[in-house]
Amino acid sequence: MKPAPFEYFAPASTDEALSLLAEHGYDAKVLAGGQSLIPMMNFRLVQPSILVDLNNIAELAYIREGDDGGLRIGAMTRHRQVETSPLAAERAPLIHVAMSKIAYPQVRTRGTFGGSVSHADPSAELPALSLALGGKFRLRSQRGERWVAAEDFFVSLFTTVLEPDELLVEASIPPMPPRSGWSLQEVARRPHDFALMGVAAVVTLNEKGVCDGARLVFISAGDRPIAAERAAESLKGQAPSSKVMEEAAEIASMQEIDPSSDIHATAEFRRHLANVLTRRALEQAFQRAAETKQEG
């Protein structure tokens, strides 16, 4: 379990990193926290000839308030920093609470926000949560800069719209509208494992307590984070009840997600779990939304 030979660069600035990617993009892999890439290299599943290590780029590690009142997270911010950030807890509680579900403290101390999003593992939390919260990502290259919404970013298994010379440098998570509630429900064999199934729910109530909008995004349910749009649509204009939640869960789990079978769970069991977890997530999210309504 030793990696194949590779050439190693450790740029100290984003510009330097972008210059290296402009030169070597197609042959290079970007090393962030290394919690997925390094094991894959050690197994020789990936054999990049060039490694561009971002760990010396201090300017990419930060958590700050966004102009919209949301959260801006630099690509090299460690999960552990987000986990312990009061600002993250206040502005993006769904992201904050998810941190403790990502692997275990050793991994979270190294793993980065940008690394997890760019790796685009459909079993990971951050791609799904970025999508559920309507987040977007700032991508830079020597050619320029662009913002891409999370819903347009993830293409398929481990594949995003990132060009070989591009680097994801920042994530922007907008604040939730007033009277919103959220929930993250997961089933994992052990707390630190990738979820067999997971779902993030974000719901918003209007002043009458009727659902104004909802997002349901599933983890380990397809080749990328899967947003169950029809299920979310079915909730709109409805007062939350077990019946509407059950219907939404049925639509999402039977029609919208596309889980596969592997050694840990069959697709059938995953659909069953998706159904159970959707109901639980909606129940909790609507309850939270109702509570903020009372507070407001």
Partner 1 sequence: MDRKLIGKRVVRNEDPRLLTGHAQFVDDVHLPGMLHAAFLRSEYAHARLLKVDVSKARQHPGVVAVFTAEDMGKDWFPGPPLVSPPPTVKDVVFHSRRQVPLAKDKIRHAGEAIAVVIAESRYIAEDAVEEIEVEYEPLPVVLDLEQALQPDSPLVHDDLESNLAARLSQKKGDYEAARRQADVIVKRRIVIERGAAAAMENRGIVAHWDAQSEHLTIWDTTQAPIPIRNGTAARLGLSEHQVRVIAPFIGGGFGPKIMMFYPEEMVIPWAAKQLNRPVKWIEDRRENFYATTQERGQIHDVEMALSRDGRVLGLKDDFLHDTGAYDPYGLTIPLNTQSHNMGGYDIRNYSSEFKVVFTNRIIATPVRGAGRPHGIFVIERMMDAAARELGMDPIELRKRNLIPPDAFPYEHQIIDQAFAPLILDSGNYKAVVDKALEIIGYEKFIKEEQPRLRREGKYVGIGVVPFIETTGVGPYEGARVTVEASGKVNVTTGIGTQGQGHFTSFAQIVAEQLGVKVSDVRIVTGDTSEFHWGTGTFASRGAVVAGSAVHAAAKSVRQKVLKLASKVLEAPEEELELEDGAVRVADIPQKSISLGELAVLANPLRGAVEPGTEPGLESTSYYGPQYGATAFGTHAMILEVDPQTMMIKIRRYVVAEDCGTVLNPLILEGQIHGGVSMGLGNAYYEKLHVDENGQLLNASFADYLLVSSTEMPRIEVAHLETPSPLNELGAKGVGEAGAIPVPALFAQALENAFYDRKLEVLEMPLSPNRLFELLREAQENEKSV
Pairwise CA distance, residues 76 & 62, whole Å: 8
Q: How far is the CB of 277 from partner 1 (least distance, A)?
A: 8
Which stretches does DSSP call E strand in 86-245?
A: 136-141, 144-149, 154-156, 159-160, 167-173, 180-187, 197-205, 211-219, 226-227
Nearer to partner 1, 110 or 236 (CB): 110
52 vs 277 by CB, closer to partner 1:
277
Minimum distance, C-beta of residue 186 to partner 1, in the bound complex (Å): 10
Shortest distance (Å) from residue 80 CB to partner 1? 18
Contact of 92 with 77, CB cutoff 8 Å: no
CB of 278 to partner 1, least distance (A): 12
**By the criterion CB under 8 A, which residues form the site for partner 1?**
1-5, 39, 43-44, 187, 189-193, 196, 263-266, 269, 272-273, 276-277
* Strand-pair partners of 205: 211
Give dist(CA 294, CA 60) in Å, integer. 39
State the nearest-atom distance from the C-beta of 241 to partner 1, in Å.
Answer: 19
* Shortest Cβ 62–partner 1 spacing (Å): 30
Q: How far is the CB of 114 from partner 1 (least distance, A)?
A: 22
Cβ-based nearer residue to partner 1, 144 or 263? 263
Long-range contacts of 45-51 (CB under 8 A, 24+ apart): 47/3, 47/4, 47/6, 48/6, 49/6, 49/7, 50/6, 50/7, 50/8, 50/9, 50/20, 50/24, 51/6, 51/7, 51/8, 51/9
Closer of 18 and 273 to partner 1 (Cβ): 273
**Beta carbon nearer to partner 1, 169 or 184:** 184
Cβ 141 vs Cβ 167: under 8 Å: yes
164 versus 191: smaller Cβ distance to partner 1:
191
Q: Which is nearer to partner 1, 26 or 43 (CB)?
A: 43
Using CA atoms, how far apart are residues 97 and 61, in angstroms rounded to an integer?
Answer: 20
Sequence-distant (≥ 6) Cβ neighbours of residue 86 within 8 angstroms = none
